[in-house]
Amino acid sequence: MNETQPLKLGDISVGYLYSLQAALLSLGHDPLPLFQRFRISSDLLATPQARISIPRFMRLGNAAIQLTGRADIGLLMGRCSHASHLGLAGMTAQCAADLGQAFETLVRFERLSSQNYRGHSSFDAPALRFYSISPYNAFNLFVVDSALASRAQLGRHLTGGKAILSAVHIEFPAPAYADRYEDVFDCPVLFEQEHNQLLWEPASLNLPLEQSAPASFYHLQSLCKAQLHDLNRHRGLREKVEEILSPQLHQRLPSLPEVARKLGLPSWTLRRRLQQEEQTRFQDIIDETRQDLAVSYIRDTELALGEIAFLLGFSSPEAFQRAFKRWTGQPPGQFRRQQRRTPS
């Protein structure tokens, strides 16, 4: 059960909400009224492979911050997380031989539980990295907090508390609750860094897992491969091109030959197949991806216009505003106000 509208910003498994639910309960709050407000039912939480959009997850998380008065709710979510919250990939990871293999498994099959146009996590030992979602504001700090804290919690839980972090790097400046980080990670935490990442002591990655089960691991891994293959099989060529283009919009856009190379195709084949299978051109995909993301950002987030202009690769906020008015017939500010007045 997924949301019916296009999920240009991405979506995540409802399993990510289990840790938010547990964090609210630990603070003495009943999560039911808040979840009902955002159309999160018990049936949805129990539906296999159910997902919600990233904008809805961000609005829900910020509503939880307002309810509890805890800006560090993401760190609390991380402490309440379990491997099972990550679905089939999480269950597979906890059967791995060692911690390094567990992290490789989670990164390899991340798409089974989340899809974000901004990118994907990576593991380059000893660094377990969560992709950048800059620019940062009060509405998305908790996402990075929960992602890093849950991975730290997972590493310790799988090894019976033996895994050790040497440092944590975070892209955004230290927030008002910065003193909470070292309590959670039990290591130096450095802000305004190049990446969001956990740096593990190298020896920790070789630690055997308490629930290691080779036969179960390889059986579950085969199920992950089949499920990932099924997901990819249903993705059209246009969607694959968009996935390569979108994370690069705020940088130098890749050319058609570069995208074709990443897809394992000759340039002329990609151009021909886009025309034949999708009835579109490469440049049209760039323009329409920008337009769709612009509408999603204005409608679904609280990002400032300058931040959106940066994310979409415009030379200035003014250039973005002109393009948005050409696309929708309205200035972005007016469009956002109208969307806020329209019932969900």
212-241: average pLDDT:
92
Are 164 and 132 found together in one domain?
Answer: yes
Are 298 and 224 found together in one domain?
Answer: no
Calculate ∠ Cα 50-54-185, nearest 5°: 100
Question: Does residue 192 contact residue 171 with C-beta atoms inside 8 Å?
Answer: yes
Q: What are the distances in angstroms from CA 108 to CA 224, 265, 331, 332?
A: 9, 22, 41, 38
Structural domains counted in the chain: 2
Are 211 and 258 found together in one domain?
Answer: no
Tell me if 2 is assigned to some domain.
Answer: no
Mean pLDDT score of the chain: 91
- Counting residues of the chain whose pLDDT is more than 70, the rounded percentage is 97
**Is pLDDT at 343 greater than 70 in this prediction?**
no
Are 98 and 213 found together in one domain?
Answer: yes
Handedness of CA 262, 266, 271, 272 (dihedral sign): negative
pLDDT for position 8: 67
- For the segment 150-198, what is each residue's pLDDT rounded down to a tens digit? 999 999 999 999 999 999 999 999 999 999 999 999 999 999 999 999 9
168-192 burial code (b ≥16 CB/10 A, e <16): bbbbbeebeeeebbeebbebebeee
- For the segment 111-158, what is each residue's pLDDT rounded down to a tens digit? 999 988 888 899 999 999 999 888 888 888 999 999 999 999 999 999
Are 38 and 154 found together in one domain?
Answer: yes
| Final residue belonging to a domain, choices 230, 246, 268 | 230
- For the segment 1-19, what is each residue's pLDDT rounded down to a tens digit? 444 344 468 899 999 999 9
Handedness of CA 288, 293, 298, 50 (dihedral sign): positive
Are 216 and 257 found together in one domain?
Answer: no
pTM recorded for the entire structure: 0.85
Question: Does residue 280 contact residue 274 with C-beta atoms inside 8 Å?
Answer: yes
